Structure 1
Amino acid sequence: MAPALPGRAKSDLMKRYTKLILLTLITLVSCREVLEPQPVDLLVDQLALNEPADVETVRIGLYSSLRGMAAPMIIAGDFTADYIQHNGTFTDYRELGTKQITAANGAVSALWSAMYRTIYVANFIIERLPEVSGVRDQTRRQVLAEARFMRGFAYFVGAHTYGAVPKVTNTDQTANRNIGRTPKAEILAFALEDYQAALADAPDEAASAAYVSKNVVRAALARYYLYQKNWAQAEQFATQVIDSKAYTLESDYQTIVTADFTDESILEVGYTVSDDPGTSTFGLNNILVGRREVIPSNQVVVALISPEAGTRRSTITFNSQQLKGSDNGWTVRKYGSADEDNNNIVLFRLAEMYLIRAEARAQLGRLSGANGALADLNVLRNRASVTALTSGSQADILSAIERERIYELAFEGHRWYDLVRTGRAQAVMTAFSPNWNSRYELWPVPQSEIQRNPALKGNQNPGY
């Protein structure tokens, strides 16, 4: 019998196994489809779900659609806010860097298209899978749970990015070409229904962080309730993920920057050399490293190299050879190229659960002690090799949590959403850019969608 592998070796083996699975799955889906989603009409026409053998192929399409959402989500969350400054020639990134965003922006359109691609594939599965005979009951429940989670996640992102969006619940192409916007609150209630259904039937454990499990849904619910200011529920679901012991914080923060499928990853979208988005118009490595269309803003650089950031300064790196003109020489390191081991995009990880729980506890007035906000903050500060916080008022601790989210989660797609949900966007962003306007608390409905969908005409977000 072979000797048992130590924990880290076993983890590395699982990561290699996961990448092998992803490579096998991705070969069934073209690179162009992942990076530049085809029109939904064509996509739905190509799907087939008539017999048990079709289930895995359609499931692959569902996860592929989630990969298409990932990079535009990071762009929305961090490029809209105060983390970047424009350094290149692309109009899309000039608009985001100078805070003069238009409805014709390509990133705005890319996220919308990828979001609805995910929704359509999920709807297809939800409609068809219950009618396919011969599918194992466990498989049916799991794939339906994955579809409900993906649809709920897409609508959660859509509601917090665009506000009211069309509520598409089926694959009737004729009807879906003419659907108006549903109020944000109703979209979020629908997303919650999907999350709750997914939680019931998702597997207790997944093969790796590339797949949906109950803890993935719990992590999404923790974020959902944080955004809703339902502090008790946010604390509850974050605690369930933390207490599951399924994830452990990496001892060295730099591992978060340089490696895929770390021990604290709850859900991340995986890429291989065959479908890596690094060279696409919206590929993070291409934008941040290759072309350097945007670079870390001076403000975020100051934050990340401060003593309070500790080892989390490894998120960015400095090269004096790039220090010229308006280029400050700093580069984001979190997204590598196709042949590096850090080109995945993390959607949920354990550190965020500690930050969610800390914020919820602070809002509930539980500041110190073993079950207080400071204890959760200090777990992350200890990992970062910075001094623990020992006291503070509620306002002081909430400010500390905002700073910790910068240090810990920079360039993982949270900043703009954080500023908007906490009511801090105007104060922070008007100090950052003279061009900031309150309309940028939502992205515009893409102009191409308004031209394509009659029900959207005259129903743009205010100010665009």
Structure 2
Amino acid sequence: MTRFFRYTAILATAWLASCTTVLEPKPVDLLVDNLVLNEPADVEPARIGAYAALRGMAASNMMAGDFTADYIRHNGTFTDEREFGTKQITPSNGVVASLWSNLYRTIYVANFILERLPTVSGVPEATRKQVMAEMKFLRGYANFIGANTYGDIPKVTTTDQATNRNIPKTAKADILALVLEDWKAAEADLASIEPGSTATVVNGTYANKISARAMLARYYLYQKNWAQAEQYATQVIDAKVYALEPNFEDIVNKDFTKESILEVGYALTDDPGTGAFSLTNLYLGRREVIPSDQVILLLASTESGTRRATISFNSANLNGDDNGWTVQKYGTADNDNNNIVLMRLAEMYLIRAEARAQQNKLTGANGAIADLNVLRARAKAPNVAATSQSEVLSAVERERVYELAFEGHRWFDLIRTGRVQAVMSAFSPNWNVKYERWPIPQGEIQRNPALKDAQNPGY
């Protein structure tokens, strides 16, 4: 299995290398003629290229959820990370620009395939249907992250250069309506995966019907549609295509675990071990950012159990403001733990627990506490002691820290629950309400006339 994923990653890298001039510029400058999809043999390389584009946005996606919130302390010299550590984010921040560029790259490649594939003759209908559905899944994911990070963003549904060079913002609600449309279409047309099927070997890499339902569970949670969030999370759990790893340490130390729903992989030949946007480099190599004292206290607590493996302590690192702690979730390819997990089964239990708690379904086999205790049992932690609805919801928030720390969720969680001002104002004297949205990258405003006076408030 490992060999297959490494091979897939290498193929993706090769495809991207052949299209560097296409994919490196901003979306408004992409040249559609350089992408090839003219015959059946082109379908698989194009498909892999779309997933490679998703992989390109994965690191900055994690940084949005973790660096913007109360998880990290700046410990190095990089300006971009210092802005996040001190909560003084600017429109010229490189991480802000990287995520924008890569999410629109993903949208662009998906749009290209959606436009071209229906015109290619000789492609088996089942293949055409599956790949078209995967492109809607990927476009939906990019738009979901984009809308929840920047707020109102351009709605790009074409590869037409004249259109994309001068495209204004669309309201966040309208972007999310497109996300729902794309994910519902993907759910309808993606391949079914049955327990025990050989197709489960690749279910962490490519989208399938169950992974679309997992995304819909997250979507409805963010929309506060508790009944739908519970329903979709239950469908994913009950499908038994994914299973919780018995030992939480394997989530930290291994790639492509059996609970991985969507994961982007890296090979020895393209391991992102160095660079400004490499999680491996930022967390482990340079230790440019280190865990904040707040997250350390939670992860090192009894309630966290074995999930304290997410971070480690080394007294040799104690120096000045360095607290000696390090994030362990992103290693190197030769250690088999350098991938980035975008969604895994544990999140489904947390989504269902929160949705059930919001509906006041607290106890019993179908209650929120039971879902939390499934994860507590895996982590060898004590059962949840909460009893009231407010206590259970507080337990859900803490459990999301224990279970999902440094997987890109925290900032989004604080915003969608209305907790961001209370938590972040206590965390940093520099926190400002404007940081509930990232700024539009300065370069995008300079390149796109329709964004000239459309910077997010406060920046």
Give the TM-score range, shorter chain.
over 0.9
Aligned position for 2:242: 247
Aligned position for 2:208: 213
Distance in 1 (alpha carbons) for counterparts of 2:410 and 2:370: 23
How far apart are residue 305 of structure 1 and its match? Answer: 0.5
Aligned 8 A contact 1:37 1:114 in 2: no
How far apart are residue 238 of structure 1 and its match? Answer: 0.4
Is 1:338 aligned to 2:333, yes or no? yes
Is 1:324 aligned to 2:319, yes or no? yes
Aligned position for 1:234: 229
Distance in 2 (alpha carbons) for counterparts of 1:257 and 1:308: 18
How far apart are residue 451 of structure 1 and its match? Answer: 0.3
Deviation track 1:103-129 (CA, whole Å, cap 9, x = no partner) reads: 000000000000000000010011110
Is 1:429 aligned to 2:416, yes or no? no
Distance in 2 (alpha carbons) for counterparts of 1:431 and 1:391: 24
Aligned position for 1:8: none
How far apart are residue 24 of structure 1 and its match? Answer: 3.8
How far apart are residue 391 of structure 1 and its match? Answer: 4.5
Is 1:65 aligned to 2:53, yes or no? yes
Distance in 2 (alpha carbons) for counterparts of 1:145 and 1:167: 19
1:267 paired residue among 259, 262, 265: 262
How far apart are residue 31 of structure 1 and its match? Answer: 10
Aligned position for 1:30: 17
Is 1:76 aligned to 2:64, yes or no? yes
Is 1:50 aligned to 2:45, yes or no? no
Is 1:119 aligned to 2:114, yes or no? no
Moved more, 153-162 or 37-46: 37-46
Q: Name the amino acid aligned to 1:440.
A: Y
How far apart are residue 98 of structure 1 and its match? Answer: 0.2
How far apart are residue 419 of structure 1 and its match? Answer: 0.2
Aligned 8 A contact 2:12 2:49 in 1: no
Q: How many residues align?
A: 450
Instruction: Give the CA RMSD over aligned residues.
Output: 1.5
Distance in 2 (alpha carbons) for counterparts of 1:268 and 1:342: 12
How far apart are residue 26 of structure 1 and its match? Answer: 3.0
1:257-336 equivalent positions in 2, closer than 5 A = 257-336=252-331
Aligned position for 1:16: 3
Q: Name the amino acid aligned to 2:150.
A: Y
In structure 1, runs of 5+ residues without a counterpart are 1-13
Distance in 2 (alpha carbons) for counterparts of 1:298 and 1:181: 38
Deviation track 1:344-380 (CA, whole Å, cap 9, x = no partner) reads: 0001100000000000000001000000000000000
Aligned position for 1:159: 147
Aligned 8 A contact 1:323 1:329 in 2: yes
Moved more, 39-48 or 432-441: 39-48
Aligned 8 A contact 1:215 1:241 in 2: yes
Distance in 1 (alpha carbons) for counterparts of 2:30 and 2:167: 19
Distance in 2 (alpha carbons) for counterparts of 1:173 and 1:309: 50
3-state DSSP class of the match of 1:215?
helix
Aligned position for 1:179: 167
Deviation track 1:387-409 (CA, whole Å, cap 9, x = no partner) reads: 11255100000000000000000
Distance in 1 (alpha carbons) for counterparts of 2:170 and 2:92: 22
Aligned 8 A contact 2:244 2:346 in 1: yes
How far apart are residue 19 of structure 1 and its match? Answer: 2.6
3-state DSSP class of the match of 2:458?
coil
1:140 paired residue among 115, 128, 141: 128
User: Structure 1 pair 276/263, CA: closer, same or farther in 2 (3 Å)?
Assistant: same
How far apart are residue 292 of structure 1 and its match? Answer: 1.2
Aligned 8 A contact 2:57 2:102 in 1: yes
Deviation track 1:72-129 (CA, whole Å, cap 9, x = no partner) reads: 0000000000000101111100000000000000000000000000000010011110
Q: Name the amino acid aligned to 1:288.
A: Y
Distance in 2 (alpha carbons) for counterparts of 1:37 and 1:265: 29
Distance in 2 (alpha carbons) for counterparts of 1:25 and 1:64: 5
Aligned 8 A contact 1:266 1:350 in 2: yes
User: Structure 1 pair 56/333, CA: closer, same or farther in 2 (3 Å)?
Assistant: same
Deviation track 1:18-77 (CA, whole Å, cap 9, x = no partner) reads: 33333344333339959x844433463320111111111111110110000100000000
Q: Name the amino acid aligned to 1:263.
A: K
Deviation track 1:132-175 (CA, whole Å, cap 9, x = no partner) reads: 11000011001101100000111000100000000010000111
Distance in 1 (alpha carbons) for counterparts of 2:398 and 2:331: 25
Moved more, 252-261 or 47-56: 47-56
Aligned 8 A contact 2:211 2:261 in 1: yes
Aligned position for 1:103: 91
1:414 paired residue among 394, 409, 415: 409
Moved more, 160-169 or 336-345: 336-345
Q: Name the amino acid aligned to 1:261.
A: F
User: Structure 1 pair 84/217, CA: closer, same or farther in 2 (3 Å)?
Assistant: same
Aligned 8 A contact 2:19 2:34 in 1: no
Is 1:91 aligned to 2:86, yes or no? no
How far apart are residue 291 of structure 1 and its match? Answer: 1.1
Distance in 2 (alpha carbons) for counterparts of 1:29 and 1:267: 20
Q: Name the amino acid aligned to 2:285.
A: G
Distance in 1 (alpha carbons) for counterparts of 2:32 and 2:390: 50
Is 1:388 aligned to 2:376, yes or no? no
Aligned 8 A contact 2:31 2:161 in 1: no
Q: Name the amino acid aligned to 2:3.
A: R
Distance in 2 (alpha carbons) for counterparts of 1:42 and 1:28: 16
Aligned position for 2:196: none
Distance in 2 (alpha carbons) for counterparts of 1:37 and 1:259: 31
Distance in 2 (alpha carbons) for counterparts of 1:43 and 1:87: 40
TM-score by length of 1: 0.95
User: Structure 1 pair 385/32, CA: closer, same or farther in 2 (3 Å)?
Assistant: farther
